[in-house]
Structure 1
């Protein structure tokens, strides 16, 4: 008899307002891409102000996604290798590593077969400045450790060094620095 293990996530959105922060837990059921998560964060935003989305998996890893208005989301993952083994973590890790949703990276979709007349190629036919074909066959493995923008919360009171040092109970420590511990605990 095989016992299945259920993966438990906690996700919350912290939306900055002129009166402080509003927190809400969030359902990730409809989130399949970073765009979905960013759209969810923008819906929670007050006057296009900052929203911090936090995803945590059973103390294994945590991820922070910061959305400021229509700017591209900024992402930090505490342990990319651990995160890549879970659906939501893989979504964030793939984005940071430049992989498409189907697991390929951007170079896999380029047509590197032809060159313009007179343009030199490497022995394998790859134009200069591009990785050799063997380099693009296997996407880079996620690192065993942090990945992304560790400075994404610096202006909110959590500098890069402090974010990199967080491990268990990171959400509570982030909430303390943002001054929204009570608001967050109400949705936990």
Structure 2
């Protein structure tokens, strides 16, 4: 956002031709897309991790968190497509990029300021390793028929806490082959250890 703000605020005379300005604008757009792609899928999941799924009071707070999260997300979309467009027409592109840049900077400061109180769920294994295990099991079991008993498609029962068990993959009637592959990975890891 800072690159876009600078690109929109600096007069054209400072650039050595339209090509340089175009490069700076596209650099800002690509950086914004990269940043959005990095934070959008993680923000709601990280927010959900802040609440204990086994505590009824925290489940209620989790629902409130998501109500506010999506309300503010949609409010931001509404304001960016109305107020910021009006500002672009009447106040200039530099001002209309500066406002979200300042708001994002404030949001980042609040996020970093609260880092001491965040809950971090510990990973049991690398997500990349888990994905690779499913892919390897899928290739190895390509020709295997699915069992008639769908209870074999569930993850293995374990003595883990209720908070960890709430993150287990549940059975679904869709993606039956993937369910079977995940079950095979669980069985293989149990017997390989």
> Is the shorter-chain TM-score for this pair beyond 0.5, marking a shared fold?
no
Q: For the superposition of Structure 1 and Structure 2, which TM-score range results when normalised by the shorter chain?
A: under 0.3
TM-score normalized by the length of structure 2 = 0.23
TM-score normalized by the length of structure 1 = 0.24
Query: Which of the two has greater helix per residue?
Result: 2
Give the number of the structure whose alpha-carbon radius of gyration is greater: 2
